[in-house]
Amino acid sequence: MYLLGDPTHPVTTAARAARFVGPGFVLRTWYALAVGSRFSFTDEALANLRVYDVTPGEVWAALHSSRRVIRHLGDDVMVVYATTAHGRRIAVLLAEADGTDNDWDVLSARELSDVEAKRYDEAVRKSPESRRR
């Protein structure tokens, strides 16, 4: 049994979804019960993911990675730096939806540059959770 948003589910991207349920189908909202957050993908966000060659499944994996670094850019915008299940390092830009706590819109995601990847690795290495493993 798969949960919606499970990166191992065969229908994790809009392109794959079109093959299973028709060309008009778009995955928009995934829930993360463990962290109490709701993540939504707008049509614009999905277009941005395609531009940067990032799949919604990779975004989902990054948002739930145990090796993520969160940088708040204000009260309602943040960037999550993380590693996907396949080891790809990405940055996910999120905006709080309509000022609702734990309700986030994914705006875009892209692969980290070499400099960003180096800083990310240093931050993860220095984190208390990393030292406990």
**Domain with 43 in it:** 14-132
> Does some domain include residue 5?
no
In a domain, 66, yes or no: yes
**pTM of the entire structure?**
0.68
Kindly state the tokens that stand for 121: 């690795």
pLDDT in tens, 94-119: 998 876 677 889 999 999 999 999 99
Residue 23 forms part of a structural domain: yes
CB atoms within 10 A of CB 49: 24
Work out the angle at residue 76's Cα, subtended by the Cα atoms of residues 27 and 94, and round it to the nearest 5 degrees.
35
Q: How far apart are CA 79 and CA 82, in angstroms?
A: 10
List of the chain residues with pLDDT < 50: 1-5, 8-35, 131-133
Give the dihedral sign, CA 1/14/110/107: negative
Counted domains in the chain: 1
**Is 59 contained in some domain?**
yes
